[in-house]
């Protein structure tokens, strides 16, 4: 398998979509596994907490949690620790997704906890400025997503290219190592290519994949576009 930090990166967020729950999550992860192997692109899936064990146990693809709480193991009913997602087979977690925002203090604590357990951190942010702030916390990956475009099918790389380029510029002043992704509205191979041409190293997408009529075809074309744009 490619190393977890090999680039370009495609993170597939399954959210809590009905199609991507339980057996559905396993099926969609299996398709992603196939494309990952065929294309040699670093594709990961981010699944619901309840599906981590099931997917990680049956599919050979890196599995991310969608969220962790800034809590050590202990007396915290209904919370999700870094230790728990690791014990169920995840290799890392999204942090601070637009639909699950965290305090700055908790983002710091989550990234530190993931590092401590040798887990991958994928920090989500909303603007170039908060991206630079997040980069100062040294996550492994950083995904900028203007919330107003999430789920619209209008891709950030086309609708707001200046958000992407400004993010790359501000982040690089603070951190040279973080892998920069962008998300929100990524729906086609062309969106992926544009994202990478703007200076990112991959994308984060959700509904376009989960609800695709032909998820295999879509993802294969995206992976190919990512590879081709990244090489140039």
Q: Is 97 a catalytic residue?
A: yes
Following DSSP, what letter does each residue of 108-151 receive, concatenated? Answer: HHHHHHHHHTT-EEEEEESSHHHHHHHHTT--SEEEE--GGGTT
Q: Quick check: 79 binds a copy of itself (CB under 8 A)?
A: yes
For a copy of itself, which is the closer residue by CB, 142 or 193?
142
Of 30-38, 79-87, 186-194, 212-220, the window that binds a copy of itself (rule: CB under 8 A) is: 79-87
Q: Is 145 marked active-site?
A: yes
Q: Does 127 bind a copy of itself (CB under 8 A)?
A: yes
* Footprint on residues 159-198 left by a copy of itself (CB under 8 A): 170, 174
Tell the residue number behind the tokens 């949690």, with chain if given: 65
123: Cβ contacts below 8 Å, ≥ 6 apart: 95, 96, 107, 111, 134, 137, 139, 141, 142, 143
Choose between 53 and 224: whose C-beta lies nearer to a copy of itself.
53
Distance CA 142, CA 160 (A): 17
Query: Which one from 145, 148, 169, 201 is the annotated catalytic residue?
Result: 145
The number of residues that bind a copy of itself (CB under 8 A) is 68
* Shortest Å, Cβ 135 to a copy of itself: 8
Identify whether the C-beta of residue 61 lies closer than 8 Å to the C-beta of residue 91. Answer: no
5 is an interface residue for a copy of itself by CB under 8 A: no
Residue 30 binds a copy of itself (CB under 8 A): no
Verify binding: residue 98, a copy of itself, rule CB under 8 A.
yes
CB of 189 closer than 8 Å to CB of 197:
no
Sign of the dihedral defined by the CA atoms of residues 43, 64, 130, 171, in that order:
negative
71 binds a copy of itself (CB under 8 A): yes
10 binds a copy of itself per the rule CB under 8 A: no
Query: Residue 153: phi, psi to the nearest 5?
Result: 85, -5
Single out the residue of 169, 194, 188 nearest to residue 180, CA to CA.
169
In angstroms, rounded to a whole number, what is the distance separating the alpha carbons of residues 197 and 229? Answer: 7
Catalytic center residues: 97, 145
* Binding footprint of a copy of itself on the chain (CB under 8 A): 13, 15-18, 21-23, 46, 48-54, 65-67, 71, 73-81, 83-85, 87-88, 94, 96-108, 112, 125-127, 129-130, 132-138, 147, 150-151, 170, 174, 206-207
């Amino acid at each position: 398998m490619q190393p977890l930090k090999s680039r370009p990166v495609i993170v597939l967020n399954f959210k809590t979509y009905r199609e991507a729950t339980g057996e559905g999550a396993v099926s969609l992860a299996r398709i992603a596994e196939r494309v990952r192997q065929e294309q040699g692109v670093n594709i990961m899936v981010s699944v619901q907490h309840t599906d981590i064990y099931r997917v990680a146990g049956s599919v050979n693809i890196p599995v991310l949690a969608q969220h962790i709480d800034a809590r050590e193991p202990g007396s915290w009913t209904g919370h999700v620790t870094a230790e728990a997602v690791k014990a169920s087979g995840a290799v890392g977690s999204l942090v601070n997704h637009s639909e699950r925002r965290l305090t700055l203090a908790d983002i710091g604590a989550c990234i530190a906890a993931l590092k401590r357990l040798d887990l991958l951190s994928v920090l989500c942010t909303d603007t170039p400025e908060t991206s630079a702030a997040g980069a100062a916390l040294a996550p492994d990956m950083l995904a900028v997503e203007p919330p107003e475009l999430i789920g619209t099918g209008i891709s950030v790389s086309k609708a707001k290219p200046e958000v992407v380029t400004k993010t790359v510029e501000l982040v690089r002043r603070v951190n040279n190592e973080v892998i920069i992704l962008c998300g929100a509205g990524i729906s086609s191979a062309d969106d992926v290519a544009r994202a990478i041409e703007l200076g990112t190293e991959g994308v984060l997408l959700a509904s376009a994949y989960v609800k695709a009529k032909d998820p295999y075809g879509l993802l294969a074309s995206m992976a190919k576009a990512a590879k081709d744009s990244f090489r140039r």
